[in-house]
């Protein structure tokens, strides 16, 4: 099997066919052949998947494979750039912009550019999408707008200018966004022969999971990395390609044998996960896609029960029904960790969350807000960021906007003076820099200066935990309490953050691992990981990729929500939505519940808000076409359920 040979290897595999196991065995096999763990590169889609894989390798080998490198492409890009950033004109202390930061940065570039005041010029959000898509697909802005955003063609030259400006600003601030972690990583290979040779020599074996979701940049990177040894194994399933919005290209699968002549192709069509009834439904569904390599999964499991279609009156009924069914399972001693509720879009979880909270069912939401994306976490991290990289304009901005009386205008003036200096941090410590700023801001700004001169002292160097405590104890605690209604909880979270930081002996590594981490708000991160309490999982389907549960609920199976109305403007979009449905249903091992709320509340008429009879319009929703198109004998129908408790 794929564990034996050398050379390029493409594994086309269905869901539940042991893709991960294949990779785990291959790693274990290599290690048993005296390959050093440091010569193996494991690229997976999420950090979690990497950790899981390493855990299983450890289990198989009986020891932890020290030196084995594994993680996401972005993670590897980050590590490589920390080493070679100078080769592309960056400093290795660069900081990483999350989605919100890059949006802010683009907005600033927009203001600086002062365009013709034409109405409906796209907002920073959309600009970030366009620029990011162009980067990830390795294409120019122009063609991307033409094909994906035809209605914005008239703004093309201005958008191109914004993109250039954004690029310049990032460079000046020594910051990279997520896409830069990929594109700059590739850049160092093109610009630095020594970097290229180093990595080409180092990684004798490369293994890639979820290959169907790689984009052009990642494909090019793999080509470079594997050029010397050509021992590259990629594993993927075209039917599970669900990241086209991030420029994932199925073409990478088709082109793999061309890029790596001599590729051996394997197919894994046995499904070890689900009962035949669930598999039948998934097979019947995916058949409706034109663009695919047809394959039919065979189950090795014994016959179980058919998926159950449950129609409920509305969203509340849906939530109530799911919660009640889960409580039944709990009373039958089913562990909560065996159950997941999946949905298309994150907002669909809110009604269910209320219901679960009310009934005391513990849950985590994957696909909600990230831990580090919360305002208070970003506030605190900004201080650490400028200590590591004081050219980071966007972090400075965040810090100064906390000061009363300082808004974007005053910050810009400040930055015009300090940002030009060789060491902006020292420039900010000069008393004279405060001249011309509002009187009421003077004292808080002086406090800030004192704080920073203290943080610069030797005893804080590379002690992120002490830094966080000190920052919190300055004015931030009061700021937090005054700004957020849930201030006390936020402060608790910051204290937790500082506890976690104690294990880091490098502020820089603490920062990048926190920002690149994928912990969600409320996820085990805050429980220190030791608390083995049982949780129900709520997850977007995208986040559920690669995971499995005994029981899975798919909620919101309504036309317009799933498939999402915005995603089906063309046939390709509809097919990707169907693949999403395929991914969702194949997460289930034994029980699959399809849940449909029949009536959805409209938002009501805003003008009549507060009036007794303005409850919004009730709209009767059609069942999702993905269920309608299935042969009726694929699933069972539950009796119609009302909302009475």
Q: Could you give the string, one character per residue 434-463, with x where binding to DNA holds by CB under 7 A and - elsewhere?
A: ----x-------------------------
* 606-635: contacts with DNA (CB under 7 A): 606
Active site residues per annotation = 19-20, 209-210, 240, 587
- Least distance CB 604 / DNA (angstroms): 7
Residue number, 107 or 192, with CB nearest to DNA: 107
Near DNA by CB under 7 A: residue from 410, 460, 484, 527: 410
Reduced to 3 states, what is the DSSP secondary structure of residue 97? strand
* Ramachandran category for residue 455: left, alpha or beta (phi over 0 → left; psi -120 to 50 → alpha): alpha
**What are the residues facing 631 on neighbouring strands?**
none
Query: Which residue stretch of 60-68, 137-145, 455-463, 535-543 sits at the interface with DNA (rule: CB under 7 A)?
Result: 535-543
Stretch that binds DNA, among 40-48, 271-279, 282-290, 460-468 (CB under 7 A): 40-48
Scanning residues 281 to 340, which ones bind DNA (CB under 7 A)?
Answer: none
Choosing from 26, 74, 280, 378, the residue that interacts with DNA (CB under 7 A) is 74
Instruction: Write the interaction track for DNA spanning residues 350-369; mark x where CB under 7 A is met and - where it is not.
Output: -----------------x--
- In whole angstroms, how large is the CA radius of gyration of the chain? 26
**Pick from 334, 404, 475, 513: which binds DNA (CB under 7 A)?**
404
| Neighbouring C-beta atoms of residue 597, cutoff 10 Å | 25
| DSSP string covering 154-223 | GGHHHHHHHHHHHHHHHHHHTEEEHHHHHHHHHHHHHH-HHHHHHHHHH-SEEEESSGGG-BHHHHHHHH
Burial of 522 (0-12, 13-18, 19+ CB in 10 A): middle
Q: Which of 347, 446, 447, 637 binds DNA (CB under 7 A)?
A: 347
Find the shortest distance in angstroms from Cβ 213 to DNA: 10
- Strands 270-271, 536-540: parallel, antiparallel or unpaired by DSSP? unpaired
Residues 540-579 interacting with DNA (rule: CB under 7 A): 540, 542-543, 564, 566-567
- Residue 637, phi then psi, degrees to nearest 5: -105, 130
Q: Does 516 bind DNA (CB under 7 A)?
A: yes
Please identify which residue in 143, 358, 407, 528 interacts with DNA, judged by CB under 7 A: 407
Question: Candidates 41-49, 377-385, 443-451, 636-644 — which segment interacts with DNA by CB under 7 A?
Answer: 41-49
Q: Are 635 and 306 in contact (CB under 8 A)?
A: yes
Closest distance of CB 475 from DNA, Å: 14
CB of 123 to DNA, least distance (A): 5
The answer to whether 542 and 606 have CB atoms below 8 angstroms apart is: no
- Residue count at the site for DNA (CB under 7 A)? 42
Q: Which is nearer to DNA, 279 or 352 (CB)?
A: 352
Q: Are 230 and 260 in contact (CB under 8 A)?
A: yes
Return the structure tokens found at 306: 């058919």
Among 346, 426, 509, 521, interactor with DNA by CB under 7 A: 346
Residue 588, φ and ψ in degrees, nearest 5: -90, 135
DSSP state of 472: I
CB of 253 to DNA, least distance (A): 19
134 binds DNA (CB under 7 A): no
The closest alpha carbon to 162, from 186, 141, 182, 184, belongs to 141
Rounded to a whole number of angstroms, the minimum distance from the CB of residue 580 to DNA is 7
Q: Least CB distance from residue 414 to DNA, whole Å?
A: 9
**Helix runs in 472-555, H state only:** 477-483, 487-501, 507-516, 541-544
In 3D space, the residue among 418, 413, 443 whose CA is nearest the CA of residue 430 turns out to be 418
For DNA, the binding residue among 157, 603, 633, 639 (CB under 7 A) is 603
Stretch that binds DNA, among 168-176, 400-408, 455-463, 619-627 (CB under 7 A): 400-408
d(CA 35, CA 28): 10
- Which residues contact DNA (rule: CB under 7 A)? 45-47, 72, 74-75, 99, 103, 123, 125, 178-179, 242-243, 245-246, 344-347, 367, 370, 404-411, 438, 516, 518, 540, 542-543, 564, 566-567, 603-604, 606
């Amino acid at each position: 099997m794929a564990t034996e040979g050398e050379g390029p290897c493409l594994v086309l595999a269905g869901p539940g066919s042991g893709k991960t196991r294949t990779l785990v065995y291959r790693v274990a096999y290599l290690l048993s052949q005296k390959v050093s763990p440091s010569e193996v590169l494991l690229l997976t889609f999420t950090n979690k998947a990497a950790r899981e894989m390493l855990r299983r390798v450890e289990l198989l080998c009986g020891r932890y494979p020290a030196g084995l490198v594994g993680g996401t492409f972005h993670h590897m890009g980050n590590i490589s750039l920390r080493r070679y950033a100078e080769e592309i004109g960056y400093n290795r202390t660069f900081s990483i912009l999350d989605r919100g930061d890059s949006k802010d940065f683009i907005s600033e570039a927009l203001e600086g550019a002062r365009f013709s005041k034409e109405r409906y010029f796209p907002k920073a959000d959309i600009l970030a999408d366009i620029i990011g898509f162009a980067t990830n697909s390795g294409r120019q802005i122009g063609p991307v707008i033409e094909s994906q955003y035809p209605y914005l063609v008239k703004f093309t030259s201005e958008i191109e200018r914004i993109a250039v400006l954004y690029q310049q600003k990032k460079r000046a601030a020594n910051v990279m966004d997520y896409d830069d972690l990929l594109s700059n990583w590739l850049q160092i290979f093109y610009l630095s022969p020594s970097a290229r040779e180093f990595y080409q020599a180092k990684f004798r074996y490369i293994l890639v999971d979820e290959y169907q979701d790689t984009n052009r940049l990642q494909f090019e990177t793999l080509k470079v990395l594997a050029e010397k040894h050509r021992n590259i194994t990629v594993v993927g399933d075209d039917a599970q390609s669900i990241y086209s919005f991030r420029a994932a290209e199925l073409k990478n699968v088709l082109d793999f044998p061309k890029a790596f002549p001599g590729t051996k192709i394997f197919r894994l069509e046995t499904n070890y996960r689900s009962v035949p009834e669930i598999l039948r439904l998934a097979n019947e569904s995916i058949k409706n896609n034109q663009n695919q390599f047809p394959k039919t999964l065979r189950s090795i499991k014994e016959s179980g029960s058919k998926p159950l279609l449950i129609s409920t009156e509305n969203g509340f009924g849906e939530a109530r029904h799911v919660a009640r069914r889960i409580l039944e399972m709990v009373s039958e001693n089913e562990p909560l960790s065996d159950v997941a509720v999946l949905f298309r879009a994150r907002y669909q979880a809110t009604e269910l969350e209320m219901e679960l909270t009310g009934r005391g069912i513990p849950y985590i939401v994957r696909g909600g807000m990230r831990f580090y994306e919360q305002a208070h976490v970003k506030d605190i991290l900004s201080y650490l960021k400028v200590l590591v990289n004081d050219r980071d304009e966007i972090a400075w901005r965040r810090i100064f906007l906390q000061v009363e009386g300082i808004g974007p205008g005053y910050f810009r003036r400040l930055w015009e003076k300090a940002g030009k200096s060789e060491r902006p941090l020292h420039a900010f410590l000069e008393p004279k820099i405060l001249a011309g700023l509002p009187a009421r801001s003077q004292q808080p700004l002086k406090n800030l200066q004192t704080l920073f001169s203290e943080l610069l002292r030797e005893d804080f160097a590379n002690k992120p935990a002490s830094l966080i405590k000190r920052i919190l104890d300055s004015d931030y605690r009061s700021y937090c309490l005054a700004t957020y209604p849930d201030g006390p909880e936020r402060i608790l979270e910051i204290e937790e953050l500082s506890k976690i930081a104690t294990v880091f002996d490098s502020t820089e590594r603490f920062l990048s691992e926190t920002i690149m981490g994928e912990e969600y708000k409320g996820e085990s991160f805050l429980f220190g990981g030791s608390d083995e309490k049982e949780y129900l999982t709520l997850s977007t389907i995208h986040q559920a990729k690669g995971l499995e549960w005994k029981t899975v609920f798919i909620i919101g199976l309504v036309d317009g929500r799933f498939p999402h109305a915005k995603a089906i403007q063309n046939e390709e979009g509809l097919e990707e939505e169907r693949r999403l449905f395929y991914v969702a249903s194949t997460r289930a091992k034994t029980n699959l519940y399809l849940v449909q709320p029949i009536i959805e509340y409209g938002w009501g008429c805003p003008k009549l808000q507060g009036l007794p009879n303005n409850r919004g319009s009730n709209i009767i929703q059609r069942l999702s076409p993905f269920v309608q198109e299935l042969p009726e004998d694929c699933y069972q129908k539950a009796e119609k359920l009302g909302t009475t408790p």
